[in-house]
Chains A and B, each alone.
Chain A
Amino acid sequence: TSSASSNLLQQRETPEGDPPGLVERTEKLLREWVGIHQSGQTAKMFPIFVQQMTVHGILKTDDLVTRFFRLSTEMCVESCYRLLATQPNGPNSLELRTKCYETLDAFTMLIVLLIKNSGSSSSTNLTPEPAAKINLLSKILSIIANVAIKDQETRRAEFQHLAYYRILILLFIELNLSPPMLGLPTQGFNNFNQMTANDVFADNVQLQVLYEFSKTLRLLKPSRVPSFAFAWLDFLSHRLFVEKCLSGQPANRPSGNILKGWALYAQLLIDLIKFEAPFLRNVELPPSVDLLYKGTLKMFLVLLHDFPEFLCEYCYSLCDVIPCNAIQLRNLVLSAFPRKMRLPDPFTPNLKIDQLPEMSQPPKTSALQNNLISTVTFKDELDSFLKTRSPVSFLNNLVGYLRAQSNQIALSLGGSKMNSLNVPLLNALVLYVGQSAISSIQPRPISLTNIAGTTQMDIFQHLATKLDTEGRYLFLNAIANQLRYPNSHTHYFSSALLYLFAVAPSEQIQEQITRVLVERLIIMRPHPWGLLVTFIELIKNPIFKFWKHEFVRCAPEIEKLFESVARSCCVQNT
Chain B
Amino acid sequence: GVAPLGPVSLSKSCYYQLAMLDAAAHHQIYPSDSQRLRLYLPATRYQSPSYYPQTVLPHSDTAEFFHRLSTETLFFIFYFMEGTKAQYLAAKALKKQSWRFHTKYMMWFQRHEEPKSITDEYEQGTYIYFDYDKWGQRKKEGFTFEYRYLEDRDLN
Q: State whether A161 touches B27 (Cβ < 8 A).
A: yes
Asked if A281 meets B32 with Cβ closer than 8 Å, knowing A228-B24, A286-B18, A288-B22, the reply is no
Q: Which of B1, B16, B17, B33 contacts A97 (CB 8 A)?
A: B33
Which chain B residue shows the least CB distance to A474?
B5
Among the 9-residue stretches A1-9, A57-65, A98-106, A243-251, the one with 4 or more Cβ atoms under 8 Å from chain B is: A98-106
B contact residues around A160 at 8 Å (CB)? 27
Contact with B along A283-310 (1 / 0, CB 8 A): 1111111011000000000000000000
Within 8 A of B (CB), among A206-229: 222-223, 226-229
Among the 9-residue stretches A123-131, A164-172, A481-489, the one with 4 or more Cβ atoms under 8 Å from chain B is: A164-172
Which chain A residue shows the least CB distance to B9?
A282
Contact with B along A324-366 (1 / 0, CB 8 A): 1100000000000000000000000000000000000000000
Tell me the minimal C-beta distance from A167 to chain B in angstroms. Answer: 11
Q: Does B105 contact A (CB under 8 A)?
A: no
B contact residues around A201 at 8 Å (CB)? none
Contact with B along A228-244 (1 / 0, CB 8 A): 11110011001000000
A contact residues around B30 at 8 Å (CB)? 94, 97
Among the 9-residue stretches A151-159, A393-401, A532-540, the one with 4 or more Cβ atoms under 8 Å from chain B is: A151-159
Q: Which of A157, A223, A238, A473 contacts B17 (CB 8 A)?
A: A223
B contact residues around A519 at 8 Å (CB)? 4
Which chain A residue shows the least CB distance to B17?
A226
Bound CA–CA A65/B62 (angstroms): 46
Bound CA–CA A152/B5 (angstroms): 33
Bound CA–CA A289/B25 (angstroms): 9
Q: State whether B34 touches A222 (Cβ < 8 A).
A: no
What is the interface size of chain A, counting residues whose CB is below 8 A from a CB of the partner?
50
Classify chain B's interface size: 20 to 34
Which chain B residue shows the least CB distance to A470?
B5
Q: Does A369 contact B (CB under 8 A)?
A: no
B contact residues around A159 at 8 Å (CB)? 20, 23-24
Q: State whether A281 touches B5 (Cβ < 8 A).
A: yes
Asked if A227 meets B21 with Cβ closer than 8 Å, knowing A97-B32, A282-B8, A283-B7, the reply is yes
Q: State whether B3 touches A325 (Cβ < 8 A).
A: yes
Bound CA–CA A279/B9 (angstroms): 10
Q: State whether B2 touches A283 (Cβ < 8 A).
A: yes
Asked if A157 meets B19 with Cβ closer than 8 Å, knowing A105-B37, A173-B36, the reply is yes
Tell me the minimal C-beta distance from A345 to chain B in angstroms. Answer: 28
Q: Which of B5, B23, B34 contacts A166 (CB 8 A)?
A: B34
Q: Which of A229, A238, A278, A470 contacts B10 (CB 8 A)?
A: A278
Q: State whether B24 touches A229 (Cβ < 8 A).
A: yes
Within 8 A of B (CB), among A43-98: 94, 97-98
Contact with B along A134-158 (1 / 0, CB 8 A): 0000000000000000001000111
Tell me the minimal C-beta distance from B42 to chain A in angstroms. Answer: 6
Q: State whether B25 touches A288 (Cβ < 8 A).
A: yes
Bound CA–CA A230/B29 (angstroms): 8
Tell me the minimal C-beta distance from B156 to chain A in angstroms. Answer: 10
Asked if A94 meets B32 with Cβ closer than 8 Å, knowing A161-B27, A278-B11, the reply is yes
Contact with B along A252-291 (1 / 0, CB 8 A): 0000000000000000000000010011011111111101
Q: State whether A325 touches B23 (Cβ < 8 A).
A: no
Which chain A residue shows the least CB distance to B13?
A223
Q: Which of B5, B11, B20 contacts A227 (CB 8 A)?
A: B20
Within 8 A of B (CB), among A380-397: none
Q: State whether A234 touches B4 (Cβ < 8 A).
A: no
Tell me the minimal C-beta distance from A281 to chain B in angstroms. Answer: 6
Q: Which of B4, B42, B44 has the most CB of A within 10 A?
A: B4
Bound CA–CA A165/B27 (angstroms): 12
Contact with A along B32-60 (1 / 0, CB 8 A): 11101100001010000000000000000
A contact residues around B21 at 8 Å (CB)? 222, 226-227, 229, 286, 288-289, 292
Contacts A94-B44, A278-B8, A281-B5 known; list 12 others, CB within 8 Å. A94-B42, A156-B23, A157-B22, A159-B20, A165-B33, A226-B20, A226-B21, A279-B18, A282-B7, A292-B21, A325-B4, A473-B4
16 contacts between A and B (CB under 8 A): A97-B30, A152-B20, A159-B24, A166-B33, A170-B36, A275-B17, A278-B11, A278-B14, A281-B5, A283-B2, A286-B21, A286-B22, A288-B18, A289-B21, A324-B5, A420-B5
